[in-house]
Amino acid sequence: MQKAPLAGLFVFLYYLGSGGMIHIFYFFKTMKYRLFFIFAALAICSLPMATSASTYDPAFAKSMQGRILLQVESHGEAWYIRSKDLKRYYMKDGAAAYSIMRFFSQGIADVDLAKIPQVASTAEMKAASSACASSSLGNRFRGEILLQVQQHGEAWYVDPVKCRAIYMKDGAVAYEVMRFLGFGFFTRDLEKIQDGGAVPGSGSSTPNPPVAPPAPEVSCTSPTDTGHMDIFDSHVHITPKVSLSQIISEMDKAGVSVANLYSGLLETTSQYPGRFVTFVDTPDSPQASTWLTQGQSFVTSAETQLKTGKYYGIGEANLRYYGGNNYPPGTPDIYVPPDNPFWLQLVDLSAQYHVPISFHFVPDDAVANAAFERMLSHNKNATLIWAHLGFNNMTLNSVTLNDYLLRYPNLYFDTAGIQNMQNLPPQPNSNWARLADQSNNGKLYEEWRKFFETWNSRILFASDAGGGANSLERWLNYSGNVSNQAPSDAVGHWKSLLSYLDSNSARNILSKNSRELLLKEQKPVYSYSVASNGACYAISISSNSSISALTFNPTTKAITFTAADSNGTAGKAIITIPTSLAGGSFTAYVDGQSVQSQSTSNSANTTVSLEYTGGIRTISLNSK
């Protein structure tokens, strides 16, 4: 019996040393230990308490950075020790944890996050071994909260002991994860670390602050309504089988305001002012590449036409073309080496007269492709339109298209004729099925949704109505289902497909890009509606880049979006934010790295401008 108090003392010292005071109350359940705890409590109370700024211990705070400390002498209140300023911030509940998670986080690229060992649960974290020695990035970011800037801002906490990351999908999960991974601490030691005050968006930093009523949830986004958007068809043909009045009738029924009419005659289209633009024709009749056989005289004629100012481009020229059911690989019906001197002179005319030049080229041959690359690099001031999403009757490949757009800033694609390619893979002529999931009501596949949105300023809507052997039937089915010789409702196919994009991307592809490129209209700003505190606010971005995937965090006021340009270019974005939504200054990040930016504010708006190098970049603005 004489050994019991000594055993109790060892137990007490064990709990004291491990920060586990929260468990000590169990000793009070037995009468024999009451006297022991009275003396223990008196001993504790006789120790000095650190309550003033003079007793802050920076070295101690440094040793605790990134940790969650649980105040075991009180009610287990949780505090986060921020690495940046070595101050403690009170984590009252899920809302406070969410604010800490978003406001005190730093961006990380997917490729770097993948280098940090991850666990799926707190139990797995507890059981896991330390990865601090084996993972340099895990060791570097220990105790930090990381946001996936290339995704949707998913948050991860890197445990400071194990150097492993755990996913926190929301504030409630963050609160539970961080508390479970916390360390028990006495108040006297906690007070060696300076209180950082209120966390933005979470209220007071003191325990048990008043709880504000939650703002009502509101949705500020609506489905993309392509049915009422303006449409500019950038690629249609007129043939002897169809009259101009028929074309106008079909355009009206389909809701198409303007069309680029290849092989159109000025005197004919002038009777419908504002409805057509025409290019300098590069004829393939009465024989293939008739324009090329004319040699220098055709180049001179083309320049004479461009000087009138009545032509809006050159083309569509068939550089490598397979007709009918003749699919590559094989012998093309038409092949003009893209680096042919006469063709390169036409490319130079595109640059000189600031008009696009359009071509059909199937990239199925290594020698032809090398000549094609030389053409693409020939004159950086030319504007090049590669018809049919670049592939036509070859298999579409978004990775390859992405590569071309990254390498050639003067290159655009049109969508001409893809809706006519309805066979199912792996059959030839099946490219529409590669875009649209026929088993899911024709929904755009995610691969292509991301591609179209990422490059939304470099793609032109086009139907190719009037082209091919079934030229009349394509016009008859432009907006209806008159003939079984062509897919029905050609324009409707694209309206439906592009409705799965965000409204800015759909608007640009259906009309605005063609209006900017051909009619020289001003590029529109990107406009987004975001929710905060039960209200909707408009954020706009002016940029020559393709802007997409904008998100807004109402707690931290952080704005994130994607900007896409070709490599080697310089991008610039001007973001206008309502001052009532997120006034003040911002810190700008490009792919998680801080960059210089300029901010100006007035009573209505805060404007932030920044520059970045070309490529596909994730831009983040964090409110200071």
CB proximity list for 601: less than 8 A, separation 6 or greater? 579, 583, 584, 585, 607
Which of residues 518, 547, 572 is at a domain's end?
Answer: 518
Q: Are residues 59 and 18 in the same domain?
A: no
Mark whether 480 and 548 lie in a shared domain: no
Percent with pLDDT over 90 in the chain = 57
Same domain? For 444 and 468 the reply is yes
Q: What is the CATH number of the domain that holds 434?
A: 3.20.20.140
pLDDT digits (tens, 9 = 90+) for 574-624: 999 999 998 778 999 999 999 999 999 998 999 999 999 999 999 999 987
pLDDT band at 7, cuts 50/70/90?
very low
Examine the domain organization and report whether 139 and 280 are in the same domain.
no
The answer to the question of residue 220 being in a domain is no
Residue 202: per-residue pLDDT? 56
Pair 355, 477 in one domain: yes
CB-based burial label for 24 (10 Å; 0-12, 13-18, 19+): middle
Range of lowest pLDDT (186-200, 343-357, 476-490, 576-590) = 186-200
Last residue of a domain, one of 518, 553, 580: 518
Asked if residue 415 and residue 306 are part of one domain, the reply reads: yes
Instruction: Give the tens place of pLDDT for each residue, 382-419.
Output: 999 999 999 988 999 999 999 999 999 999 999 999 99
Q: Are residues 547 and 575 in the same domain?
A: yes
* One domain, residues 270 and 326: yes
Type of residue found at 277? V
- pLDDT band at residue 216 using 50, 70 and 90 as cut-offs: low
pLDDT on residue 120: 87
pLDDT in tens, 516-575: 999 999 999 999 999 998 889 999 999 999 999 999 998 889 999 999 999 999 999 999
pTM check: above 0.85: no
Is 460 within 8 Å of 505 (Cβ atoms)? no
267 within 8 A of 291, measured Cβ to Cβ: no
The Cα 299–Cα 277 span in angstroms is 21
Tokens 């490059």 found at: 455
User: Given this model, what pLDDT does residue 34 score?
Assistant: 39
The overall average pLDDT reported for the chain is 86
43 pLDDT higher than 50: no
Of 60-64, 247-251, 434-438, the range with the lowest mean pLDDT is 60-64
- Taking a C-beta distance cutoff of 8 angstroms, is the pair 510, 461 a contact? yes
Total count of domains within the chain: 4
115 plus 250 within the same structural domain: no
Which of the 8 DSSP states describes residue 510?
Answer: I
- Higher pLDDT, residue 461 or 427: 461
Q: Which of 112-116, 206-210, 238-242, 559-563 has the highest mean pLDDT?
A: 559-563
- The verdict on 429 and 374 lying in the same domain is yes
Per-state percent for the chain, helix, strand, coil, to nearest 5: 35, 25, 40
Contacts of 367 (CB under 8 A, 6+ apart): none
Last residue of a domain, one of 473, 489, 518: 518
Q: In sequence order, which residues have a C-beta less than 8 Å from that of residue 391 and are 6 or more positions away? A: 362, 363, 397, 431
Whether 124 is covered by a domain: the verdict is yes
425 in the same domain as 369: yes
Task: Determine contact, residues 12/40, Cβ cutoff 8 Å.
Answer: yes
> Are 125 and 72 part of one and the same domain?
yes
- In a domain, residue 312? The reply is yes
- Determine phi and psi for 14, rounding to 5 degrees: -65, -45
> Edge-to-edge, what's the strand order for the sheet holding 411-414?
334-335, 314-321, 356-361, 383-386, 411-414, 459-460
Residue 30, pLDDT above cutoff 50: no
- Which residues span the domain enclosing 607? 526-623
Least confident of 2-6, 146-150, 297-301: 2-6
